A and B are shown apart, each in its own frame.
Chain A
């Protein structure tokens, strides 16, 4: 990790304090400054349950290469005050090589942090800020952190200027505070400076929620119905003005039952449609998702998963909605389930899900999570992908039109309201080919086969999963665990372990033949996921005939997966 003498390739820092201390503002500016300086980065956030106030922490990893995972430890923790920051102890692991900076005006750092053996360097953030008219401690902390990790002042200044566009006194005061903070960093004498930044490339600064929203718009979504829920709200809030610009609209619904039914109505009208929610909302939407399956109406539901069951921990991540997304619907209801495996992939996978839903006239559930959704990342500009496929529309006055015709592929041309001569009723009742209600066993079987057949009718290509490496050992994972697993696996390779890393993106329909090929020759596989009950393990056992030995490594949320524990588990497992 440390290049001898040339600085760190990755540094993780946390900025904490009471609500109103401006922790998130300073964290965002720091991430932006790092990006300005040419580094990659990932910022996650944590806050207490209070609506306003309470405590908050901005957690950043800044690195010379793109980061898809948090690191094992924080090298630096800066607290503007200690308020209830101790509550984040489990989320802010430190060790003896870490540095804690606290303001003596707010007392000693909590024991839970000091016991790590980290060095404590007091800095009078508040007093320094007070000496500057209009100065704030968070801006002093920004300068301090920038100095500690070796960001040039110009980058910090650019980030502050971009944020305080109005300029004037506030800008001057902030810049003075940043400079004062940077001077303190020099005084402390830190050894956490980054290695020189890599060559400039085209990059984006984006959250997973924004990426998913943009992917949906790229995929053609123009109608969104929204009911607010943490941590999906920002996706919907990003889409509201963005849709307006591209000729679409967002309607705020009265509840999730309304939002899912609104998008079914809009998509029935021919407009590709989406909603975003989290576990409790997805639970409410399940009945109508079944209607989408039966009536063959394409829709996309992004589930930004949070800790469950029930209200759970609304602001924290977990991968435990897999069972609901896969198996929640009554009846035999084949549908799409996809999962992005990085912040950047939130864009690509949501776009792909939209295309697949439209092509196959079926609901798609995209399983993102709080980690992705609320993380802001500096990443390589995602390539512009044009996925093939769109909705098959029926022509006006088609002779003997049958909405649910038993075609070879299972996909039948969809009549869009306004088209003459081919009206029909979309129905959740079992129906005959024309769409007329039918309780005949023969119609039920034919339509069940049709709906199953269409999902098997296309080749999902290489996007179904990401496969890296070779060997007789394999690590299988999905979603937001993938970044940490990849990092852990790369360390294991340095330890001489060879094996494959498989991260599944297309969860439904399962791809047994592709998986068989991907795992050909594998004797043992380690299944890694973030759920208490092993939902992904059971999914693999249920959907695939795996002839290798499966071992499960799973932890529930709310803490994000970290590479070190996975690395240790891989070592133990591979040597067992």
Chain B
């Protein structure tokens, strides 16, 4: 199947459904939703040619809030479902979306292998460093001393560094975005979609209910001081040493996407029988 022709002049509003989000007032995910709709309009792709695939969690509710084809699956497996869909239907624009618990904890293994496999899809993680839907448990990106009912003295565990992991695992495009800049995030998402292979956009998206202190993130974020690099070693150094609030494209590589041939039969089904015939 060939990629559909560009559809110019689409409004972001076209991508927004009439389903009311379950999110709390002030949740960063509202602006991420808005950034996605802006990015899709800018990409000149029609809603029926886009699939938004997610797992479980607050942010994973996002597919139904769009007018795209949506897939709201089981916890942690968004990338697996998105991979199957994109390989089977390379003509579609596939966005996998979700939160830090879904993507880095229960879905951690799929994250590694999606980066490594480098299928041409875009993974947007709305990271708020907490499990919100289950009302405030620490996630892999939560600070070690953050108190909660489940971990009364903090987890004592070092945070997971999703961007470094993505780089080490082979992601072809790595960006950090912030929900406090909807237009900037829309632009980063559009760049991620355009970039061939597996693109990863980590969006700092505050949970105002369980992590109200994250409201301050908008004061802490700043544009990445240097241009994107295609040098993985340089990118690794930057990612390991930055303050976690650098916004922008941090790595853009040239790996060949994984794109097995589909839909071009070389033989009739019955020809497969010949190896069995005596």
Residues from chain B with Cβ under 8 Å of A437 in the complex: 19, 61, 64
Residues from chain A with Cβ under 8 Å of B109 in the complex: 254-255, 257-258
Shortest beta-carbon distance, B117 to chain A, in Å? 8
Which residues of chain B from 67 to 93 have a CB within 8 Å of any chain A CB?
A: 67-74, 76-77, 80-89, 91-92
Residues from chain A with Cβ under 8 Å of B263 in the complex: 222, 247
Q: With A246-B265, A378-B278 known to touch, is A269 a contact of B80 (CB < 8 Å)?
A: no
* Complex: A551 Cα to B1 Cα, angstroms: 57
* Complex: A260 Cα to B110 Cα, angstroms: 12
* Complex: A254 Cα to B76 Cα, angstroms: 13
A94 at interface by CB-CB < 8 Å = no
Shortest beta-carbon distance, B59 to chain A, in Å? 14
A265 x B85 contact (CB < 8 A): yes
Contact indicator per residue, chain B 231-267, by CB within 8 Å of chain A (1) or not (0): 0000000000000000000000000000011111111
Shortest beta-carbon distance, B236 to chain A, in Å? 23
* Complex: A418 Cα to B83 Cα, angstroms: 17
A245 x B48 contact (CB < 8 A): no
* Complex: A279 Cα to B129 Cα, angstroms: 36
Residues from chain B with Cβ under 8 Å of A436 in the complex: 19, 64
Residues from chain B with Cβ under 8 Å of A225 in the complex: 84
* Complex: A251 Cα to B90 Cα, angstroms: 14
For B18, give the chain A residue with the smallest CB separation.
A436
* Complex: A223 Cα to B83 Cα, angstroms: 12
Residues from chain B with Cβ under 8 Å of A287 in the complex: 74
A423 x B73 contact (CB < 8 A): no
Shortest beta-carbon distance, B82 to chain A, in Å? 6
Residues from chain A with Cβ under 8 Å of B92 in the complex: 269, 417-418
B63 at interface by CB-CB < 8 Å = yes
* Complex: A262 Cα to B71 Cα, angstroms: 12
CB within 8 A of B278: which of A36, A268, A288?
A36
Which residues of chain A from 409 to 439 have a CB within 8 Å of any chain B CB?
A: 415, 417-429, 435-437
For B112, give the chain A residue with the smallest CB separation.
A254
Residues from chain A with Cβ under 8 Å of B5 in the complex: none
Residues from chain B with Cβ under 8 Å of A206 in the complex: 276
B273 at interface by CB-CB < 8 Å = yes
Residues from chain A with Cβ under 8 Å of B270 in the complex: 384
B113 at interface by CB-CB < 8 Å = yes
Residues from chain A with Cβ under 8 Å of B61 in the complex: 437
Q: With A247-B264, A271-B89, A421-B48 known to touch, is A265 a contact of B67 (CB < 8 Å)?
A: no
A35 x B278 contact (CB < 8 A): yes
CB within 8 A of A425: which of B63, B80, B261, B269?
B63
Shortest beta-carbon distance, A547 to chain B, in Å? 42
Residues from chain A with Cβ under 8 Å of B276 in the complex: 204-206, 210, 214
Residues from chain A with Cβ under 8 Å of B85 in the complex: 265-266, 268-269, 417
Task: Name the residue in A203, A260, A418 with the highest tally of chain B Cβ atoms < 10 Å from its Cβ.
Answer: A418
B260 x A249 contact (CB < 8 A): yes
Q: Report whether over half of chain A's contact residues are helix, strand or loop; otherwise say mixed.
A: mixed
Shortest beta-carbon distance, A488 to chain B, in Å? 29
A218 at interface by CB-CB < 8 Å = yes
B272 x A265 contact (CB < 8 A): no
Residues from chain B with Cβ under 8 Å of A570 in the complex: none
For A223, give the chain B residue with the smallest CB separation.
B88
For B92, give the chain A residue with the smallest CB separation.
A417
A265 x B278 contact (CB < 8 A): no
Shortest beta-carbon distance, A304 to chain B, in Å? 19
Please give the number of chain A residues whose Cβ is less than 8 angstroms from any Cβ of chain B in the complex.
66
* Complex: A531 Cα to B124 Cα, angstroms: 47
A217 at interface by CB-CB < 8 Å = yes
A248 at interface by CB-CB < 8 Å = yes
A242 x B272 contact (CB < 8 A): yes
B209 at interface by CB-CB < 8 Å = no
For A249, give the chain B residue with the smallest CB separation.
B260
A244 at interface by CB-CB < 8 Å = yes
Contact indicator per residue, chain A 382-418, by CB within 8 Å of chain B (1) or not (0): 0010000000000000000000000000000001011
* Complex: A238 Cα to B277 Cα, angstroms: 16
B278 x A418 contact (CB < 8 A): no
A266 x B88 contact (CB < 8 A): yes
A277 at interface by CB-CB < 8 Å = no
Shortest beta-carbon distance, B131 to chain A, in Å? 18
Which residues of chain A from 333 to 348 have a CB within 8 Å of any chain B CB?
A: none
Residues from chain B with Cβ under 8 Å of A257 in the complex: 76-77, 80, 109-110
* Complex: A214 Cα to B83 Cα, angstroms: 24
Contact indicator per residue, chain B 201-217, by CB within 8 Å of chain A (1) or not (0): 00000000000000000
A424 x B89 contact (CB < 8 A): no
Residues from chain A with Cβ under 8 Å of B269 in the complex: 217-218, 246
B74 x A245 contact (CB < 8 A): no
A381 at interface by CB-CB < 8 Å = yes
Which residues of chain A from 228 to 255 have a CB within 8 Å of any chain B CB?
A: 242, 244-249, 251, 253-255
Q: With A246-B272, A419-B48 known to touch, is A262 a contact of B89 (CB < 8 Å)?
A: no
For A269, give the chain B residue with the smallest CB separation.
B89
Contact indicator per residue, chain A 421-464, by CB within 8 Å of chain B (1) or not (0): 11111111100000111000000000000000000000000000
Q: With A223-B88, A245-B267, A425-B64 known to touch, is A288 a contact of B70 (CB < 8 Å)?
A: no
A54 at interface by CB-CB < 8 Å = no
Shortest beta-carbon distance, B128 to chain A, in Å? 21
Q: With A245-B272, A248-B262, A288-B73 known to touch, is A420 a contact of B46 (CB < 8 Å)?
A: yes
* Complex: A253 Cα to B119 Cα, angstroms: 13
Contact indicator per residue, chain B 49-60, by CB within 8 Å of chain A (1) or not (0): 101110000000
| A–B complex contacts, Cβ < 8 Å, 7 sampled | A36-B278, A249-B88, A262-B83, A288-B73, A420-B48, A428-B74, A437-B61
Q: Which 8 A-B pairs have the closest CB atoms?
A: A425-B70, A262-B84, A265-B84, A247-B265, A261-B80, A265-B81, A266-B88, A265-B85
Q: A268-B71, A420-B48, A428-B72 known; 19 other A-B pairs, CB under 8 Å?
A: A217-B269, A223-B88, A244-B261, A245-B265, A245-B266, A257-B76, A257-B110, A262-B81, A262-B84, A266-B85, A269-B92, A271-B89, A418-B1, A418-B91, A421-B48, A423-B69, A425-B69, A426-B70, A428-B74
